[in-house]
Amino acid sequence: MKTCLFIILCVVASRPLAAELLQNAPNRKQMQLLGQWDAIVDPFDVGDKRKFYTFNGPAGANVLQEFNFNNAMKLHVPGDWNTQDERLFWYEGSVWYHKTFIAAPEPDKQYLLYFDAVNYLATVYVNGEQVGQHEGGFTPFQFNVTEVLTAGSNTVVVKVNNRREPDYIPTMSTDWWNYGGITRPVRLIELNATYIDDYQVYYAGHNSIAVKIGLAGEQTHNQQVTLSVPELGINRVFTTNQEGKIYTTINAEPQLWSPDNPHLYNVELTLATTTLHDNIGFRTIEVRGNDILLNGESVFLRGIAIHEEKPFGDGRAWSKEDARTLLGWAKELGCNYVRFAHYPHNENMLRMADELGLMVWAEIPVYWDIQFDNPAVLSKAKQQFGEMLSRDKNRAAVILWSIANETPNTPVRTAFLSELAETVRETDPTRLVTAAINTQTTTANGRLIDEDFAGVVDVIGINSYCGWYYDSPETCATYRWQSAFDKPTIVSEFGAGARQGWHDTDDTVFSEEYQSRVYKNNLVMLENMPDLRGVSPWLLKDFRAARRPLAGVQDYWNRKGLLSEQGIRKQAWYIMRDWYQQKQQAGQ
Ligand code: GCB
């Protein structure tokens, strides 16, 4: 299966020269291509034919050249284009990015051009040559550019297209902003001729740490790699096998990572004279009956759902400071868990969750009704999951892989998601599979969780908007939920909209009072829910949504945040915070 996933990655994701996705890109030796890039907006896609990627300065006065990067618009990388220039707020289409940089490549080194994410389709050229193309807006990709890099000035051109298409993931309709651009950092990474490409170091239970290491490059077999975890007194040398891999376990008794004790160990991997550092937490996660066990102990997930938007205002979040603010707010709410909706968030979010002690639900954008009958789309889903796993496999915080959100209950959908779940389990048996499900059977006094796909996941996620999209808030309090499965359930979404600062009677929709009323009644409902092992209300803060046009209230914001788009608390924030305090006091 691993080989199969690898083939898919090669075919769909990263074409020539690329090895498997490099583990731990932030801590490699690198130059980041950040700051201002030149940008040409190309709504009619003329750039391919006119060869924008060959740009080598403005043409002479007697030559017709209808483009010039030097005097073009400037866009900051990383960053979405929509919030950088008001002309691009609604834009969906192609933008050509251009940057020159100085390099001093050394003869026996290798160079990867590594993109943390580009939304959605990226075609990359270095010094006029196409080095590869990548599809998918929220996961990293890389191209080996050793052969095309020159000493001195180099040019990189990226054609970015964020037009929505039927066979994309996500597809035509989403309830979030389709931010386009090079939304996360770009890195030129320098590697030795032979280098540590991939690794996973994790707690396998029973006082043992499992270690998997893979080398890439010139000579991968029979190489010595030193693994050291100074705090645990570990300093061991291992030799790679014929395939350039090491698989081993080490006896150790680490302090186990948990929200109460988010301890991370400095782990060092050394090949020849190059040492790679990482901070890794050790923990176990499993399901027993309807319980979730973290390090063998029952845990209740006190959570909040989060979109990857800047803490103050709109635009894609990407920095460490953004992550610290957003997740700091989750901590202030009393959370021990966060749902990163609806796509892989930037790596800073994952590393910050590790550091702050927040368990993570991580998700791919298999959202609503994608082309479940299209095998190419299934390959894309596997590719996006594979890239997310490659990047995040060493993050203790990630306990749940979510493979879908609110998908229609049809046989073709269930077959698609069952195969995807199988791939996820085969490639990462150390975490749990979940999905947000919103189809249940209505009973006389509530709902029955009984759809087939709920039988496939380890943890059932339920999205339920009782009191908002249907029924009065008070009816929700009388709801009785039942489940046909003996499995843990998380209410992965519930909530209501409110424009922060709008105070009125509690039957005025969109007032803070109405939102509070929905919350209060939903909490009564949750107390009666069987198998409930966690909640992540929808959501931390208001976010941009093209589907939310109501003037004066929504203004293209989804107003279901507990915080306004500027981070100001609404009444419902305090209701949720108090509930979490009670849960905590009750030892949950
Ligand atoms: C949902 C979706 C979420 C939407 C939310 C809403 O069920 O999963 O993406 O934003 O409802 O506000 O309607």
Pocket mutation for ligand 1, best pick of 463, 538, 539, 548 (most atoms within 8 Å of C-beta): 538
Q: How confident is the model at residue 279 (pLDDT cuts 50, 70, 90)?
A: very high
- Amino acid 10: pLDDT: 34
Residue type, 547: R
Evaluate: CB of 464 within 6 angstroms of ligand 1: no
Q: Is the pLDDT of residue 293 over 80?
A: yes
Between CA 582 and CA 138 the distance in angstroms is: 36
Evaluate: CB of 463 within 6 angstroms of ligand 1: yes
Surface-to-core class of residue 293, CB atoms within 10 Å of its CB (0-12 exposed, 13-18 middle, 19+ buried): middle
Question: CA dist 113 to 17, 18, 119, 344, 485, Å?
Answer: 11, 10, 17, 20, 47
Q: In what order do the strands lie in the sheet with 297-298?
A: 285-288, 291-294, 297-298
Cα(174) to ligand 1 centroid in Å equals 9
Cα(406) to ligand 1 centroid in Å equals 9
Cα(408) to ligand 1 centroid in Å equals 14
- Amino acid 588: pLDDT: 84
Evaluate: CB of 187 within 6 angstroms of ligand 1: no
Q: Taking residues 569-577, report their average pLDDT.
A: 98
Residue nearest to atom 4 of ligand 1 (CA): 175
> Of 357, 369, 535, which Cα lies nearest the Cα of 461?
535
Q: Is the pLDDT of residue 388 over 60?
A: yes
Give the least confident one: 14-18, 137-141, 418-422: 14-18
Q: Is the pLDDT of residue 545 over 60?
A: yes
Residue nearest to atom 7 of ligand 1 (CA): 463
Evaluate: CB of 406 within 6 angstroms of ligand 1: yes
Q: How confident is the model at residue 130 (pLDDT cuts 50, 70, 90)?
A: very high
Cα(175) to ligand 1 centroid in Å equals 6
Question: 200-205 long-range contacts, Cβ below 8 Å, gap at least 24?
Answer: 200/23, 200/393, 200/394, 201/227, 201/267, 201/278, 201/280, 201/394, 202/280, 202/282, 202/393, 202/394, 202/396, 202/430, 203/254, 203/256, 203/282, 203/283, 203/284, 204/249, 205/284
Between CA 63 and CA 60 the distance in angstroms is: 5
ipTM of the complex: 0.99
- 8 A C-beta contact, residue 76 and residue 35: yes
Between CA 338 and CA 362 the distance in angstroms is: 9
Cα(72) to ligand 1 centroid in Å equals 38
> Of 534, 551, 562, 542, which Cα lies nearest the Cα of 175?
542
- 8 A C-beta contact, residue 195 and residue 271: yes
Evaluate: CB of 560 within 6 angstroms of ligand 1: yes
Evaluate: CB of 363 within 6 angstroms of ligand 1: no
Residue nearest to atom 13 of ligand 1 (CA): 175
Cα Rg of the chain (Å, integer) = 24
Between CA 385 and CA 383 the distance in angstroms is: 5
What digits encode the pLDDT tens for the residues 179-233?
999 999 999 999 999 999 999 999 999 999 999 999 999 999 999 999 999 999 9
How many residues belong to the chain?
A: 588
Question: CA dist 470 to 3, 367, 435, 473, Å?
Answer: 47, 21, 22, 9
- Amino acid 189: pLDDT: 98
- Amino acid 448: pLDDT: 97
Between CA 531 and CA 10 the distance in angstroms is: 41
Q: Taking residues 140-160, report their average pLDDT.
A: 98
Separation of CA 194 from chain center: 29
- Amino acid 2: pLDDT: 37
Cα(442) to ligand 1 centroid in Å equals 20
For residue 341, the ligand 1 atom closest to its alpha carbon is 9
Q: Is the pLDDT of residue 260 over 50?
A: yes
- Amino acid 11: pLDDT: 34
Cα(258) to ligand 1 centroid in Å equals 29
Q: Is the pLDDT of residue 9 over 80?
A: no
- Amino acid 338: pLDDT: 99
What digits encode the pLDDT tens for the residues 467-499?
999 999 999 999 999 999 999 999 999 999 999
For residue 174, the ligand 1 atom closest to its alpha carbon is 9
- 8 A C-beta contact, residue 229 and residue 266: yes
Q: How confident is the model at residue 7 (pLDDT cuts 50, 70, 90)?
A: very low
Between CA 22 and CA 45 the distance in angstroms is: 32
Q: How confident is the model at residue 3 (pLDDT cuts 50, 70, 90)?
A: very low
Evaluate: CB of 198 within 6 angstroms of ligand 1: no
Q: Taking residues 103-107, report their average pLDDT.
A: 97
Average pLDDT value for the chain: 96
Q: Name the percent of the chain lying above pLDDT 90.
A: 96
Cα(110) to ligand 1 centroid in Å equals 44
What digits encode the pLDDT tens for the residues 81-100?
999 999 999 999 999 999 99
Between CA 50 and CA 159 the distance in angstroms is: 13
Domains of the chain, earliest start first: 2-192 (2.60.120.260), 194-283 (2.60.40.10), 286-585 (3.20.20.80)
- Amino acid 8: pLDDT: 36
Helix (H, G, I), strand (E, B) or coil at 223: coil
Residue nearest to atom 10 of ligand 1 (CA): 175
Q: Is the pLDDT of residue 1 over 80?
A: no
For residue 438, the ligand 1 atom closest to its alpha carbon is 7
Evaluate: CB of 81 within 6 angstroms of ligand 1: no
Surface-to-core class of residue 206, CB atoms within 10 Å of its CB (0-12 exposed, 13-18 middle, 19+ buried): exposed
Cα(261) to ligand 1 centroid in Å equals 33
Residue nearest to atom 3 of ligand 1 (CA): 175
- Cβ burial 68-105 (10 Å sphere, 16+ → b, else e): ebeebbebebbbbbbbbeeebeebeebbbbbbeeeeeb
Q: Taking residues 543-551, report their average pLDDT.
A: 98
Cα(329) to ligand 1 centroid in Å equals 21
Neighbours of 229 (CB within 10 A): 20
Between CA 543 and CA 315 the distance in angstroms is: 9
> To 10 degrees, the CA torsion angle through 91, 93, 98, 103?
110
Give the least confident one: 11-25, 313-327, 384-398, 432-446: 11-25
Surface-to-core class of residue 138, CB atoms within 10 Å of its CB (0-12 exposed, 13-18 middle, 19+ buried): buried
Cα(30) to ligand 1 centroid in Å equals 39
Evaluate: CB of 558 within 6 angstroms of ligand 1: yes
Between CA 503 and CA 514 the distance in angstroms is: 9
- 8 A C-beta contact, residue 357 and residue 261: yes
Q: Is the pLDDT of residue 12 over 70?
A: no
Q: Name every residue whose Cβ is closer than 8 Å to that of residue 257 and which is 6 or more positions away in sequence.
A: 263, 264, 281, 282, 283, 354, 357, 396, 397
What digits encode the pLDDT tens for the residues 230-252?
999 999 999 999 999 999 999 99
CA angle 397-398-400, nearest 5°? Answer: 140
Secondary structure letter of residue 11 according to DSSP: I
